[in-house]
């Protein structure tokens, strides 16, 4: 070997070692901190510990919503050889049952990271617990499970892909249901497999709060069943139902026909998922007459026996026609409610001061939010008196010229029959810690007193007449006294009231002497029946009967028998076996005419059966009625000391009406 070649080899070797020394110096001294940072970042990751979302129960602690600990598997395709791709596809095919080709195609997609199995249930995921392959990793991916599927879906709502509430109670209470996520520091090797967890750096997750709803699962199922049955029987675009406890404002059931499955919410349209009970408004029609009548009774502007002429079904008022479904003549105020006369109601309210009338309507909650704990509620529309036209009050009196939601009507009826107190509708009963211990108990929220207790008792009595003798006879139950009001309103379409599309409704309560249930039924555009008394009232009856059957004896209360009178309608006479007409015998008897004192039995003889029953209800007595007409005998003698719950039997007999004109 020549000396020159040896020199060049020495020089080259020296330069290589010099370069290595420089490189090592750069790595170990100059860039050591920077490279340590990158190495630590590559080997150490902060992993989120998902908080367990709070559970949801019904009022009887029936579990409605829970969590399932699912797992999703991912693959970084850059770290997998073709041979291992086939092995992974074969393994997942054997565990989950999908074809080999399905997984192999996923793995060979253009994405760098692919999800090869989404939300695998724990029992399947456990089979892959010890299966290790470069590039394969998994994440906890919990699933919210709605055990009864469609049941109460509009109340419960659902969670989106980010595991946060999107609708219903899931959204309105998302902050307490979600809990607080934790975190842990994980050390991984060069291929991404976990080596260990830094325990000192771990922050545990805080589970969400559990919620107990006011909803009764059984009542909810009954309501949904009967709404769907009603749509099938009568047709219609949709139906809404609400059941409430009038003494507390608790919502016992809230439903829309059809429903949707929150487990697969994406398969349903936005329209199908809309809670029409709180988001959709309508003109309530005749169900609003109870509100108008209660306001007039409370102001002593009318009494039950005051007469008004119903113009034979057509009334010209301020150059506008007001019509009734039937040609009616002279009616008492009681008959105006029972026969649902638009003309009678519009005439009775003309002596009502505009501002005072408006204040009562507003006090019942119309034109404002009820503040129910569900998202998306609208407040409807109620114009102020300075925006009224000469016909506004007349039309408002029978439920036109304003827009309400079903929850507003149901809440207002609770105030009508519970003694006059408006409650905020309540959907949450209590909150529980994760261990089941009580965190917070909700109490009824009184908004305001709207009418007096006496007015409430009088309006209950009028609404009993609607069911027993008037337009709501299809809501009558055996053995339980029911009160309520029918409603049929034309829908406003393109600025004109339709002659074909109606909202048919009924709002009822039972038992009448001490209401425990208020139930609203609203059917949108029924194809068969149209009227609230023919469509909504029978649906109410089916719901109420099933509830009564569930609670033998709880709602028991005898139903007064029908009274059949020969009624004079203007210039023609007809027999109306369903309309109770309060006949004047030498100046009509009324509840106010009875000498009612707490603890003392009044003299019921020579008073009408209806007034006697009203007195017994007001005194809190149980009763039985024999016959119909005027009271002729009573088992508890006048002047006797009585106690609430005592039993009184009364005998009634029809009076001879020959020669008497009844209007």
As annotated, the active-site residues are 286
Distance CA(420)–CA(453), nearest Å, equals: 6
> Cα separations (Å) of 202 from 39, 54, 183, 564?
21, 22, 6, 80
Distance CA(159)–CA(275), nearest Å, equals: 16
- 8 A C-beta contact, residue 145 and residue 64: no
Closest CA to 229 of 505, 548, 536: 536
* Burial class (CB within 10 angstroms; exposed 0-12, middle 13-18, buried 19+) of 661: exposed
Neighbours of 587 (CB within 10 A): 8
10 Cβ neighbours under 8 A, 6+ residues apart:
none
Task: Note if the bond before 131 is cis, omega within 30 degrees.
Answer: no
What element of type H or E holds 197?
strand 194-203
Distance CA(341)–CA(561), nearest Å, equals: 23
- 8 A C-beta contact, residue 549 and residue 222: no
Q: What are phi and psi of 366, to 5 degrees?
A: -80, 145
Q: Which two tokens stand for residue 198?
A: 């830094």
How much of the chain is in helix, strand and coil states, percent to nearest 5?
Answer: 35, 25, 40
Closest CA to 560 of 451, 420, 461, 636: 461
- 8 A C-beta contact, residue 279 and residue 265: no
Closest CA to 450 of 298, 565, 588: 298
606 Cβ neighbours under 8 A, 6+ residues apart:
585, 589, 630, 631
Distance CA(627)–CA(607), nearest Å, equals: 14
Distance CA(625)–CA(507), nearest Å, equals: 26
Distance CA(482)–CA(507), nearest Å, equals: 10
Work out whether the CA dihedral 396, 469, 473, 549 comes out positive or negative.
positive
Rg over alpha carbons for the chain, rounded to the nearest Å, is 36
Q: Which two tokens stand for residue 546?
A: 């099933």
Distance CA(82)–CA(196), nearest Å, equals: 29
Q: Which two tokens stand for residue 437?
A: 């211990």
């Amino acid at each position: 070997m020549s000396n020159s070649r040896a020199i060049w080899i020495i020089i080259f070797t020296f330069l290589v070692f010099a370069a290595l020394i420089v490189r090592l110096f750069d790595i170990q001294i100059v860039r050591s901190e920077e490279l340590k940072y990158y190495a630590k970042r590559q080997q150490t990751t902060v992993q989120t510990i998902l908080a367990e979302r709070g559970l949801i129960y019904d009022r009887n602690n029936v579990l409605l919503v829970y969590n399932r600990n699912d797992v999703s598997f991912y693959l970084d395709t850059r770290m997998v050889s073709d041979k291992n791709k086939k092995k992974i596809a074969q393994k997942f095919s054997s565990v989950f049952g999908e074809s080999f080709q399905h997984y192999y195609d996923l793995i060979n997609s253009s994405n760098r990271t692919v999800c090869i199995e989404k939300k695998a249930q724990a029992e399947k995921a456990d089979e892959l617990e010890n299966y290790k392959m470069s590039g394969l990793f998994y994440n906890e991916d919990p699933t919210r499970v709605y055990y009864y599927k469609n049941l109460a879906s509009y109340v419960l709502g659902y969670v989106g892909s980010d595991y946060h509430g999107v609708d219903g109670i899931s959204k309105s209470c998302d902050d307490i249901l979600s809990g607080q996520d934790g975190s842990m520091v994980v050390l991984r090797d060069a291929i991404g497999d976990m080596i260990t967890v830094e325990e000192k750096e771990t922050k545990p997750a805080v589970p969400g709060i559990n919620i107990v709803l006011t909803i009764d699962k059984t009542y909810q199922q009954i309501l949904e069943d009967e709404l769907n049955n009603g749509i099938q029987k009568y047709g219609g675009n949709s139906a809404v139902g609400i059941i409430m406890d009038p003494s507390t404002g608790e919502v016992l059931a809230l439903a829309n026909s059809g429903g949707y499955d929150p487990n697969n919410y994406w398969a349903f349209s936005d329209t199908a998922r809309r809670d029409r009970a709180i988001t959709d408004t309508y003109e309530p029609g005749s169900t609003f007459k109870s509100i108008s009548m209660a306001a007039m009774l409370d102001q002593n502007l009318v009494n039950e026996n005051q007469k008004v002429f119903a113009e034979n079904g057509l009334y010209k008022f301020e150059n506008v026609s007001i019509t009734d479904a039937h040609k009616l003549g002279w009616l008492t105020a009681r008959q105006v409610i029972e026969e649902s006369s638009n003309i009678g109601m519009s005439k009775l309210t003309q002596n009502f001061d505009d501002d005072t009338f408006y204040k009562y309507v507003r006090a019942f909650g119309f034109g404002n939010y009820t503040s129910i704990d569900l998202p998306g509620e609208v407040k409807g529309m109620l114009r102020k008196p300075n925006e009224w036209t000469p016909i506004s009050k007349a039309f408002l009196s029978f439920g036109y010229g304003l827009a309400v939601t079903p929850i507003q009507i149901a809440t207002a009826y609770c105030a009508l029959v519970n003694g006059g107190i408006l409650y905020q509708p309540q959907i949450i009963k209590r909150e529980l810690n994760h261990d089941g211990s009580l965190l917070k108990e909700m109490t009824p929220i009184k908004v305001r007193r709207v009418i007096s207790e006496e007015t409430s008792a009088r309006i209950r009595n009028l609404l009993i007449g609607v069911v027993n003798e008037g337009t709501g006879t299809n809501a009558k139950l055996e053995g339980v006294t029911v009160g309520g009001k029918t409603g049929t309103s034309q829908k406003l379409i393109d600025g004109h009231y339709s002659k074909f599309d109606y909202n048919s409704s009924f709002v009822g309560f039972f038992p009448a002497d001490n209401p425990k249930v208020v139930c609203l039924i609203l059917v949108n555009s029924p194809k068969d029946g149209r009227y609230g008394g023919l469509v909504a009232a029978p649906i109410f009856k089916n719901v109420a009967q099933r509830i009564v059957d569930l609670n033998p004896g709880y709602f028991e209360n005898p139903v007064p028998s029908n009274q059949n009178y020969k009624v004079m309608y203007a210039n023609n006479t007809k027999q109306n076996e369903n309309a109770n007409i309060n006949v004047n015998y030498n100046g009509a008897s009324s509840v106010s005419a009875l000498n009612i004192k707490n603890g003392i039995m009044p003299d019921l003889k020579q008073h009408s059966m209806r007034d006697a029953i009203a007195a017994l209800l007001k005194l809190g007595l149980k009763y039985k009625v024999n016959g119909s007409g005027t009271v002729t005998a009573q088992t508890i003698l006048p002047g006797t000391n009585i106690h609430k719950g005592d039993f009184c039997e009364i005998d009634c007999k029809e009076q001879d009406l020959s020669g008497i004109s009844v209007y």
